[in-house]
């Protein structure tokens, strides 16, 4: 489906992030070669779920219209809500990451507050992060694999 690039809503989690310069340069290089190596995925409200790097490259190149994939996250609703924790690895970072708390740890989920330092799984092993916000949702907020909080 084609949409105007200007109609895509960029959520705060993307606005606050700073994409890897390596990924950005690779996407730029591929774009110059006519290769689109990523997809822009939006929900039914045109909110960007994935493809922020391609979005930035297209915006740099004054592209007006783009083909997007619509991923209706409503299809991924859960019967029991899940607590999602947003956090930063350190206070000087602007990049926010997301983890979930397993449903069987409901009492621990309630005890986590903004500013708390918690233990989470990352691709580099277990790390401490500082909580920036908490959401209880009956759907997955992003179209990506989300690791769990170890507490």
Q: What is the pLDDT of residue 75?
A: 44
The model's pLDDT over 52-88, given as tens digits with 9 standing for 90+, comes to 999 999 999 999 999 999 876 544 556 678 899 999 9
Provide the b/e sequence for 63-81 (b: ≥16 CB within 10 Å).
eeebebeebebeeeeeeee
Q: Where are the domains of the chain?
A: 2-71, 76-148
């Amino acid at each position: 489906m084609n949409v105007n690039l200007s109609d895509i809503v960029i959520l705060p989690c993307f606005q606050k992030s700073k994409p890897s310069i390596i990924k950005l340069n690779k996407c730029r290089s591929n774009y110059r070669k006519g290769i689109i190596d990523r997809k822009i995925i939006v929900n039914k409200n045109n909110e960007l779920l994935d493809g922020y790097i391609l979005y930035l490259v297209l915006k740099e190149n004054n592209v007006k219209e783009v083909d997007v994939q619509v991923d209706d996250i409503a299809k991924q609703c859960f019967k029991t809500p899940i607590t999602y924790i947003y956090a930063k690895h350190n206070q000087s970072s602007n990049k926010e990451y997301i983890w979930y708390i397993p449903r069987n740890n409901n009492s621990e989920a309630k005890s986590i507050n903004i500013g708390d330092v918690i233990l989470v799984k990352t691709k580099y092993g277990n790390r401490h992060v500082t909580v920036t916000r908490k959401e209880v949702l009956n759907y997955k907020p992003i179209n990506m694999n989300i690791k769990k909080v170890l507490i």
